[in-house]
Structure 1
Amino acid sequence: MHTERHELFSQLWEQYRSVTPSAERVHQLLAERESRPIVNDHIALRTFNLDPVGLDALAEPFLALGYQPGGEYHFEAKKLYARHYEHPDQDAPKVFISELLVEKFPEPIQATIRNLVSEVDPDRVRRSDFPYSGRPWQISHETYLMLAEVSEYASWLAAWGYRANHFTVSINHLDSIQSVVEMNQLLKDQGFTVNDSGGEVKGSPEDLLEQSSTMADRVPVAFSDREAVIPSCFYEFARRYPKADGQLYTGFVAASADKIFESTHERRG
């Protein structure tokens, strides 16, 4: 089971880094400073709340490896629902899966998303490699832009499909860096852009979780009508604090996650 879990996360990482060159550079930067391997705190996956691709379907390969449901999270403004999963083996990365509440959007948007999802083969969803299977539908750049007007989450998911939206460095497992503030300074010193939505540090010791992230890389994507450069994925950094019982907090903070989602937003200006 451990081997299968390692294989799943290795495949997710390979697919993720292929469109996130900055993550590869940050990972190398940290690896050169650290005497032990970089530990991944969690990954995040996105989907639509429609059959056959809803959150539960995306969770299935992880449940098969012994993962168990953790907390639930609601994002009213972004029209999202999320749940995290954790493994009895505390060294295993956590998995944060969110889904877009399609019914909360205007009918034309709902119809567009339903059309995309109608192209998905249900048998494909049941395979263990579904979380890193990429985009299972055709989409035009025009449709991507239309979705981006109402939900950048929807447009990102429509363009990229199934892949890790981000990996997360566990600051608790670093020797050379002790805080999210230090991590952010290192990133900025090396020329990376830190997501400053809601402040560069999301959360607090009182929340038992502090997070930050880079802004997503921008890479070319082949749409059905043209190629365009759009935001891909980003790298996150998390520092967890102990609960009253001395164990590190393993959940997430909805207010912080809300701002982390914006790491894939187009930078306007």
Structure 2
Amino acid sequence: MNFDTQKPLDIFLNMLFERYAQEVPAVKKITTALVTSGVIAGQDEIVNDHIAFRTLGLPHLGIASFEKIFLHQGYKKMDYYYFESKKLNAYWYAPPSPEYPRIFMSELIVKDLSAQAQEIIYKYTNHIKTDPVDALDLDNGAQIGAFFHQPLWQLPDIADYRLLLEESEYAAWVIYNRYYLNHYTISVHNLKTGYNTLEDFNVFVESLGLKLNTSGGKIKVSPDGLLRQSSTVAEMQQAEFANGETMPIAGSYVEFSERLILPDFKHLPHADIEAKHRREGFETNNADKIFESTYIRQTKGNL
């Protein structure tokens, strides 16, 4: 791959996806089965609806820091979401052009956690005195790609991880995984008939032996009925901690979305339907349940 001929955004998105696909077996399993079934010719035919990142809402970190990378590439900050029970803020970002995925970026509201949980998080992050994104050349795609995969804090002790896990599974995931890609999303409505609804696609995914997130039902539906989302359950991976101990923890997962045609455009011939004619944005209740793709009550038995 010759990075010199690509935009910075292409470079670091490719770097992110390559590592994510290597670490999440469900990605290759689904893509291979779609190719074998004649649905697509290869991975590049899958439309990626959005990718998601998890962060810690702290000075020099969190959304205020992380979003700079994408705003510089021409992304536009859109709607705000609040997840009260999970203590999270989130925004989504519209891409600079349709061939790029939307971004869904969330952050843990650290100040709303217990004193003990805050103390653990500060133990690993207090040394960060300046915004690490400010030190990046945001026109250098390879440098940004490397940044996503470099640790900003030391590997946690297993005891700290377990304590965080009891209070906030989101906090535990971030303290171990840092800025690792949380998931990418297959846009099922862009696939051919027989695979282009979540009902059909979920049956296909389960036929591969993959487990689906059942929180709120296998298909999470927005109140207007136009945004429908499902996801696999994160596969468990043996993780090594700072003290050399290991335990299985949740990795990343794959999401599937179906954006239905807006009522004003129902009359258009199918061949004329574009992304702008479909339901845009996200839905708090849907996302709340998708977050649980890495939660123990979903990942249990997925070793």
Do they fold alike, i.e. is TM over 0.5? yes
Using the TM superposition, give the Cα deviation of residue 215 of structure 1 relative to its aligned residue in structure 2, in angstroms. Answer: 0.3
Confirm whether residue 256 of structure 1 aligns to residue 261 of structure 2: no
Corresponding residue number in structure 2 for 1:217: 235
Letter in 1 for 2:85: A
Confirm whether residue 84 of structure 1 aligns to residue 92 of structure 2: yes
Q: Counterpart of 2:82 in 1: which secondary structure? A: strand
Are the equivalent residues in 2 in contact too, given 1:58–1:131 (CA < 8 A)?
no
Are the equivalent residues in 2 in contact too, given 1:31–1:38 (CA < 8 A)?
no
Distance 1:253 1:30 in 2: 28
Are the equivalent residues in 2 in contact too, given 1:68–1:86 (CA < 8 A)?
yes
Q: Which runs of 4+ in 1 moved over 4 A?
A: none
Are the equivalent residues in 1 in contact too, given 2:50–2:104 (CA < 8 A)?
yes
1:112-191 to 2 correspondences below 5 Å? 112-120=120-128, 122=130, 124-126=132-134, 127=136, 128-129=144-145, 132-138=148-154, 139-176=156-193, 177-191=195-209
Inter-CA distance 236–134: structure 2 relative to 1 (3 Å threshold): farther
Distance 1:187 1:131 in 2: 32
Corresponding residue number in structure 1 for 2:21: 17
Corresponding residue number in structure 2 for 1:98: 106
Distance 1:217 1:230 in 2: 8
Corresponding residue number in structure 2 for 1:47: 55
Normalised by the length of structure 2, the TM-score is 0.83
Q: Counterpart of 1:200 in 2: which secondary structure? A: coil
Distance 1:10 1:86 in 2: 18
Inter-CA distance 248–256: structure 2 relative to 1 (3 Å threshold): same
Distance 1:123 1:72 in 2: 22
Distance 2:33 2:223 in 1: 26
Using the TM superposition, give the Cα deviation of residue 120 of structure 1 relative to its aligned residue in structure 2, in angstroms. Answer: 3.9
Distance 2:150 2:289 in 1: 24
Corresponding residue number in structure 2 for 1:75: 83
Inter-CA distance 15–72: structure 2 relative to 1 (3 Å threshold): same
Distance 1:135 1:106 in 2: 25
Q: Which moved more, 1:200-209 or 1:249-258?
A: 200-209
Are the equivalent residues in 2 in contact too, given 1:70–1:83 (CA < 8 A)?
yes
Q: Counterpart of 2:49 in 1: which secondary structure? A: strand
Inter-CA distance 221–171: structure 2 relative to 1 (3 Å threshold): same
Using the TM superposition, give the Cα deviation of residue 249 of structure 1 relative to its aligned residue in structure 2, in angstroms. Answer: 2.0
Are the equivalent residues in 2 in contact too, given 1:219–1:230 (CA < 8 A)?
yes
Distance 1:205 1:82 in 2: 19
Q: Counterpart of 2:104 in 1: which secondary structure? A: strand
Tell me how large the CA RMSD over aligned residues is: 2.0
Using the TM superposition, give the Cα deviation of residue 86 of structure 1 relative to its aligned residue in structure 2, in angstroms. Answer: 0.8
Are the equivalent residues in 2 in contact too, given 1:124–1:130 (CA < 8 A)?
no
Distance 1:134 1:43 in 2: 19
Are the equivalent residues in 2 in contact too, given 1:233–1:264 (CA < 8 A)?
yes
Corresponding residue number in structure 1 for 2:39: 34
Are the equivalent residues in 2 in contact too, given 1:20–1:233 (CA < 8 A)?
yes
The number of aligned residues is: 269
Distance 2:196 2:100 in 1: 21
Letter in 2 for 1:209: L
Confirm whether residue 240 of structure 1 aligns to residue 259 of structure 2: yes
Using the TM superposition, give the Cα deviation of residue 191 of structure 1 relative to its aligned residue in structure 2, in angstroms. Answer: 0.6
Are the equivalent residues in 1 in contact too, given 2:188–2:256 (CA < 8 A)?
yes
Using the TM superposition, give the Cα deviation of residue 116 of structure 1 relative to its aligned residue in structure 2, in angstroms. Answer: 1.6
Letter in 2 for 1:219: Q
Are the equivalent residues in 2 in contact too, given 1:30–1:38 (CA < 8 A)?
no
Distance 2:287 2:131 in 1: 31
Q: Counterpart of 1:110 in 2: which secondary structure? A: helix
Inter-CA distance 28–65: structure 2 relative to 1 (3 Å threshold): same
Q: Counterpart of 1:129 in 2: which secondary structure? A: helix
Q: Which moved more, 1:40-49 or 1:13-22?
A: 13-22
1:187-206 to 2 correspondences below 5 Å? 187-204=205-222, 206=224
Distance 1:244 1:149 in 2: 44
